[in-house]
Structure 1
Amino acid sequence: MDKVARLSNFENPLIDNRLRYFTYIPVNIAPEISLAAYFIVGAILVWQIVHYRTQRWIYILPGTAFAEALGYAFRTACVYKTTFGMYVAMMLFLLVPPNALALANYKAVAKIIRNSPAAKPRVFWLKPGFVNWFYFASDVFSICMQGAGGGMLTGTNTRDAGRAVVLVGLTVQLFFFACYLVTSFYVWWRPEYVVHVSSKYKSHQQAKRRVMLSVTTTTVLLYIRSIYRIAEFGDGYGGKIYSSEWAFYVFDTIVIFLMFIVYIVVFIGHSFPREGKISSMQLSSAENQPVTSEVRI
């Protein structure tokens, strides 16, 4: 079925709603497995947060996992009977929530910068306030653009405009992901930026390496997912990418699930405990020797 035929299906009132919205009959079992998988990783992350008494902003991670599970619940329902409302809900819950994972990564790096008194950044892009609010604002902007565009995609008259809005949101997000990765690698490379050393880690270097490995790896995976989404929406409704269900499960479902596996295995909460003050081992930039200092978190 070519793209023109798929577009005509959308206008045909007699066609199955699954073909109208998906352009194919979605497979069974896969969305149920995805629902269960995301619910399980969300539950594991909640247990880790409670057990290790981490800061509350890390609840962004399980919250996103549960939102993904809800998206696959709607997709499961759509396998059997697709309605406009269920399709819109599925689209929004599978398109928008993963962007919140970037907020957690931004917050982690901003915390590291703020909790490193030996580091005295002279450039604005390394100041904790800038890192926190600049990237936060960029991600919120991208989320709003993608959410608005995702809703518009389901309307016949607004589909082209909705695609353009989503593409703008995704493209802006890719740009800021690249900027964030530059900031992250700089913080990782510079010894004056430190993290809290819990009993889980043997040294400051190990603790920092684990946190930075987690945030950079997951950001790269999110970058890959965003590239797929840009290609999907750029190809348009009825295009080969939009109509390839396997591509969705490989480059969206599996890629985001791998991000959660990284968050669980390399759990950043160990370095962000809930207590008001912690003692952390920090490296003196002048002598490269560990010194103890109080860090407010």
Structure 2
Amino acid sequence: MSPDSGPYNYLPSRTVAIIMLTLFGISTVVQAGQATRYRMWWLLPTACLCGIIELIGWSGRLWSSFSPLASTPFQIEITCTIIAPTPLLAANFVILSLIIHKLGAQYSRLSPRLYMIIFTTCDVVSLVVQGAGGGIAATAIDAAGSNNGAHIMLGGIVFQVVVIVAFSALAIEYFTRYHTDSPLSSRIGASREKESQLPSGPVRGAFTGKILLMSSALAFSTLLLFIRAIYRTAELADGWHGKIISDQVLFNVLDGAMVILAMYTLNIAHPGLLLATPAEEKEPNESI
């Protein structure tokens, strides 16, 4: 039988799989080291977990390059590569909350804590739905069961797209209000009370070069994950034998490369380097 008749509708590239495994492996190890160095333990269940799941998924893809007709490695690959970026997105939610804490919560529609609670909860829901769909698809005994699993995964991805859009809209509003110095009146009182400021108002943090770099990296990473989520939405909506899922280049570029770039963006523009206070830089501690 030809590889074209297998679950991928093509023969997965062994070279690309090895390159991706190497890149994800390096980034994940560095993420773990940076999380330990700066005692930002929240990076372990977010960025590091993303890297680990991607490694499992791309291992399945490498396996498929040897056995393109086997269903098990395909199910490992499709399930893991779909859910893997979800924890990484949660890291972006935490980073925005740290930036808001630095610059001033009076410009934010939500408190820094609420950003983490609301969006991380939504992220977990998306992860559970995608994982459940992947499990159903992987254990299905017929095409109908596999399609049901794909539909559930599609629902989880669509929900994730909605979450990214909502998060991005709130982030854009926050930075716009900060740069125009237009605080929300409902937030001024809360910020003033929490920070025990004088009646003149809560503190407005300085938009330093480091915060600019961190904010730019956050925007770039979120855009990458959004592009990737749109691709996976179109892929699943098109079906197991559609044109999108059958195009290997699209997958490598719009899924693998997007997540790789997002991972390395966080490695380079790291919150431990860019959001720590001078005291924290001398003696790293947990930032949340």
Query: After the TM superposition, which of the residue ranges 80-89 and 260-269 deviates more from structure 2?
Result: 80-89
Following TM superposition, by how much is the alpha carbon of 1:115 offset from its aligned partner in structure 2, in angstroms? 5.2
| Structure 2 residue 28 is matched with structure 1 residue 25 | no
Amino acid at match of 1:37: L
Q: Which residue of 2 aligns with 1:56?
A: 41
Task: Describe how 1:255-270 pairs up with structure 2 within 5 A.
Answer: 255-270=258-273
Quote the Cα distance in structure 2 between the aligned partners of 1:207 and 1:188: 15
| Structure 2 residue 126 is matched with structure 1 residue 142 | yes
CA offsets 1:59-90 (integer angstroms, 9 cap, x no match): 32233223212211121112112543332222
> Which of the numbers 247, 251, 275 marks the counterpart of 2:250?
247
Q: Which residue of 1 aligns with 2:218?
A: 215
Following TM superposition, by how much is the alpha carbon of 1:159 offset from its aligned partner in structure 2, in angstroms? 2.3
Quote the Cα distance in structure 2 between the aligned partners of 1:29 and 1:268: 33
CA offsets 1:198-217 (integer angstroms, 9 cap, x no match): xxxxx742122122112111
CA distance change for structure 1 residues 72 and 18 in 2, over 3 Å: closer, same or farther? Answer: farther
Contact between 1:188 and 1:208, CA under 8 Å: does it hold in 2?
no
Task: Describe how 1:25-174 pairs up with structure 2 within 5 A.
Answer: 25-51=11-37, 53-59=38-44, 60-81=46-67, 83-114=70-101, 118-120=104-106, 125-154=109-138, 155=140, 156-174=143-161
Quote the Cα distance in structure 2 between the aligned partners of 1:128 and 1:48: 23
CA distance change for structure 1 residues 119 and 145 in 2, over 3 Å: closer, same or farther? Answer: closer
Determine helix, strand or coil for the equivalent of 2:144. Answer: coil
CA distance change for structure 1 residues 16 and 211 in 2, over 3 Å: closer, same or farther? Answer: same
Contact between 1:19 and 1:25, CA under 8 Å: does it hold in 2?
no
CA RMSD of aligned residues (A): 2.8
Quote the Cα distance in structure 2 between the aligned partners of 1:153 and 1:274: 47
Contact between 1:55 and 1:272, CA under 8 Å: does it hold in 2?
no
Q: How many residues in Structure 1 have an aligned counterpart in Structure 2?
A: 254
CA offsets 1:21-61 (integer angstroms, 9 cap, x no match): 2122222211111111111122233333344x241112322
Q: Which runs of 5+ in 2 are unaligned?
A: 184-205, 282-286
Query: After the TM superposition, which of the residue ranges 22-31 and 84-93 deviates more from structure 2?
Result: 84-93
Following TM superposition, by how much is the alpha carbon of 1:18 offset from its aligned partner in structure 2, in angstroms? 7.5
Determine helix, strand or coil for the equivalent of 2:245. Answer: coil
**Higher-strand-fraction structure:** 1
CA offsets 1:83-114 (integer angstroms, 9 cap, x no match): 43332222222110111111001111123334
Higher relative contact order (CA closer than 8 Å, sequence separation 6+): 2
Q: Which runs of 5+ in 1 are unaligned?
A: 1-14, 194-202, 280-295
CA offsets 1:201-254 (integer angstroms, 9 cap, x no match): xx7421221221121110111000011001101110111111111111010011
**Higher-helix-fraction structure:** 2
Contact between 1:184 and 1:216, CA under 8 Å: does it hold in 2?
no
CA offsets 1:257-288 (integer angstroms, 9 cap, x no match): 1112211222222245599x859xxxxxxxxx
TM superposition score normalised by structure 2: 0.78
Contact between 1:114 and 1:128, CA under 8 Å: does it hold in 2?
yes
Determine helix, strand or coil for the equivalent of 2:6. Answer: helix
> Which of the numbers 164, 170, 182 marks the counterpart of 1:183?
170
TM superposition score normalised by structure 1: 0.76
Q: Which residue of 2 aligns with 1:206?
A: 209
CA distance change for structure 1 residues 106 and 232 in 2, over 3 Å: closer, same or farther? Answer: same
Determine helix, strand or coil for the equivalent of 1:126. Answer: coil
